[in-house]
């Protein structure tokens, strides 16, 4: 999928507007100036390095984050209408977590995490338009995102920390300690992590549908080539059978 320059620009304006609207006071200003500082990098970032993953194209990161914010706000209303206790977290915490849930994909303050692929074979055969920047020390996406926030003096609440940490839900085994607890006192005290996870999953699924399902339609799926060899062999065999008068030879040929 490709975004036009206008779409990339408009997505960036929506991204900054979400911060201005939902993140209050000094923290909102700090977050805004943090993203403006890294604007050139963030605005064109893909959301993944491999094209089979969601939104792995220029501008895909901001496009994905904006969708997660939209889905999160809609999930908020859904959970509220079903009787979820909305006093255990704030809408600001939900939007802050949604905006920053994948921040670790940015890399660190000096290095981008995804750089253009230099190996043509991997690009062609594996669909990797980007590759991980080996200058970066290994770190999980949530850990790196939280580190970047604290490194730039942007505070986050306990709820936001757990939500960002567990946004991949049980797709990441590291989250089992928070999400697979059987003892009631060990379960999250707020539904925020579940709401964020559902919003992220919903956004990624929709991005898959937009990008990939059209490629699986009847018209675009490559049809297997017809087996002309078999057809001509069958025709040749039928012709040959018709020319033979001996029942023994006919039977032999028919069994070939």
**Residue from 128, 129, 160, 200 that binds Fe ion (CB under 5 A)?**
200
Helix axes 60-81, 91-100, angle to 10 degrees: 150
Pair of tokens at residue 137: 């020390």
Q: At its nearest, how many Å lie between Fe ion and the CB of residue 105?
A: 8
Is residue 102 a contact point for Fe ion (CB under 5 A)?
A: yes
Residues 40-79 close enough to bind Fe ion by CB under 5 A: none
> Between the CA of residue 111 and those of 51, 65, 101, 133, 157, what are the distances in Å?
21, 21, 19, 8, 27
List beta partners, residue 93: none
CA distance 101 to 206: 18
Candidate ranges 110-118, 120-128, 174-182, 193-201; the one touching Fe ion (CB under 5 A): 193-201
Task: Give CA 255 to chain center in angstroms.
Answer: 55
- Residue number with CB closer to Fe ion (93 or 102): 102
CB atoms within 10 A of CB 38: 17
Candidate ranges 4-12, 96-104, 151-159, 190-198; the one touching Fe ion (CB under 5 A): 96-104
Q: How many residues bind Fe ion (CB under 5 A)?
A: 2
CA distance 163 to 160: 5
- Residue number with CB closer to Fe ion (102 or 112): 102
- Residue number with CB closer to Fe ion (87 or 175): 175
CA distance 26 to 144: 23
The region that residue 157 occupies, defined by phi over 0 for left and psi between -120 and 50 for alpha, beta otherwise, is: beta
Candidate ranges 108-116, 122-130, 179-187, 194-202; the one touching Fe ion (CB under 5 A): 194-202
Under a CB-based contact definition with an 8 Å cutoff, are residues 174 and 141 in contact? no
Q: At its nearest, how many Å lie between Fe ion and the CB of residue 200?
A: 4
Is residue 168 a contact point for Fe ion (CB under 5 A)?
A: no
Residues 124-153: x/- map of binding to Fe ion (CB under 5 A)?
A: ------------------------------
Q: At its nearest, how many Å lie between Fe ion and the CB of residue 230?
A: 48
Q: At its nearest, how many Å lie between Fe ion and the CB of residue 166?
A: 12
Q: What does the binding site for Fe ion look like in residue numbers (CB under 5 A)?
A: 102, 200
């Amino acid at each position: 999928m490709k975004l036009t320059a206008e779409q990339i620009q408009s997505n960036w304006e929506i991204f900054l507007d979400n911060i201005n609207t939902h993140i209050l006071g000094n923290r909102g200003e700090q977050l805004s100036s943090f993203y403006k500082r890294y604007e050139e990098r963030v605005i064109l970032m893909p959301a993944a390095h491999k094209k089979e993953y969601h939104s792995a194209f220029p501008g895909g990161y901001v496009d994905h984050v904006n969708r997660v914010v939209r889905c999160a706000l809609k999930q908020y209303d859904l959970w509220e209408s079903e009787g979820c206790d909305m006093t255990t977290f704030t809408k600001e915490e939900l939007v802050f977590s949604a905006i920053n849930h994948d921040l670790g994909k940015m890399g660190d303050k000096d290095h981008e995490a995804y750089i253009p692929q230099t190996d043509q074979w991997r690009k062609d055969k594996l669909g990797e338009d980007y590759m991980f920047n080996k200058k970066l020390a290994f770190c999980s996406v949530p850990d790196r995102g939280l580190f970047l926030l604290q490194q730039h003096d942007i505070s986050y609440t306990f709820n936001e920390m757990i939500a960002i940490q567990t946004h991949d839900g049980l797709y990441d085994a590291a989250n089992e300690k928070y999400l697979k607890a059987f003892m009631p006192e060990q379960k999250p005290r707020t539904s925020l992590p579940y709401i964020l996870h559902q919003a992220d999953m919903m956004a990624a699924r929709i991005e898959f549908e937009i990008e990939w399902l059209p490629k699986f339609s009847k018209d675009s799926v490559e049809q297997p080539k017809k087996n002309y060899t078999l057809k001509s062999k069958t025709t040749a065999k039928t012709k040959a059978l018709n020319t033979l008068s001996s029942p023994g030879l006919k039977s032999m040929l028919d069994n070939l």
